[in-house]
Amino acid sequence: MLKKTRIVAAVPCAFIASLASASPMAPGVVYTDATGDIASGIATANGTLDLVSMEVSSSATDVIFKLTVNGSVSSTDWGKFMIGISTGAGDTATNGNGWSRPINMTSNGGMTRWVGTWVDGGGGAEVYAFGSGAWIMTGATYFNPNPFPGSFAIAAGAQSTLTYTVSMASLGVSNGSTIYFDAYSSGGGSFDSAVDALSRSDASISNWGGPFTTAGIASGTSASTAGGAFAYTIPAPGALALLGAATLVGSRRRR
């Protein structure tokens, strides 16, 4: 699914207020993938499609996904980067996703949310929820009156970072919940599969059409040839409150 947009800022202005929140942040957990693990014969967009790692953290209201890729998204102006999420609650899809690409998830009962983003044309993002047997768009950077529930920012460099700040409400989770997820890179074709998957330390597919399935649960925070969705537990409210108190005490001591 080739998406086009006229977004000119890395972070759309409508979302700046959400980034200014002073709520305490839980320390991030970094999940790593092997580099150079895209099958020969598949274009890597000068390394941009090669996933390096994803850091997941949270605030009192949001989950923050920070994806690092092994190339500059400014010098290579194409590529799709997606996150499949399973909350283990409500309707689940074991086949397909919000973009109808040949990417599936059977982990934790199946996929419940899909975050699809692109870096070309300035970048953009969409969130989908699965319910009543269908994927429904719940927000996008260019979609009104229901904007993307959070923010999507792009920082180009030798290794570029894509940061997704997504509200817990849009994911159907809350403090104390555990989510299972995998991240994927892909091309511009609507039938392109997961050129690289965060969960796999080897080639995820041998040709553009795939398909690819995230199956099982990862045993740690590093990708393996067995794959499997990674797990992240959102800290309970009490843990965030203690973190905020510790930050305040540290700030007063420094002053």
Report yes or no: 145 and 135 within 8 Å, Cβ to Cβ: no
CA 195, CA 154: separation in Å to the nearest integer? 20
Reply yes or no on domain 13-19+28-250 having CATH 2.60.40.
yes
Tell me the C-alpha to C-alpha distance, in Å, between residue 192 and each of 12, 26, 40, 219: 28, 35, 16, 28
Judged against a pLDDT cut of 70, whether residue 245 lies above it is answered with no
The token pair that represents 230 in the structure block: 């990674």
Please give the pLDDT value at position 238.
66
Higher pLDDT, 237 or 86: 86
Q: Is 133 exposed, middle or buried (0-12, 13-18, 19+ CB in 10 A)?
A: exposed
CA 45, CA 26: separation in Å to the nearest integer? 33
* Domain extents in the chain: 13-19+28-250
DSSP one-letter code for 75: T
Over the stretch 89-146, which tens digit does the pLDDT of each residue have?
899 999 999 999 999 999 999 999 999 999 988 889 999 999 999 999 999 988 766 7
Tokens 């460099």 correspond to 157
Share of the chain above pLDDT 90, in %: 72
Over the stretch 7-66, which tens digit does the pLDDT of each residue have?
333 333 232 223 334 456 678 999 999 999 999 999 999 999 999 999 999 999 999 999
Report yes or no: 234 and 168 within 8 Å, Cβ to Cβ: yes
Q: In the predicted model, what is the mean pLDDT of residues 208-234? A: 97
Helix (H, G, I), strand (E, B) or coil at 136: strand
Percentages helix, strand, coil for the chain (3-state, rounded to 5) are: 15, 35, 50
Q: Name the strand (E) or helix (H) holding 250.
A: helix 237-254
Q: What's the pTM?
A: 0.84
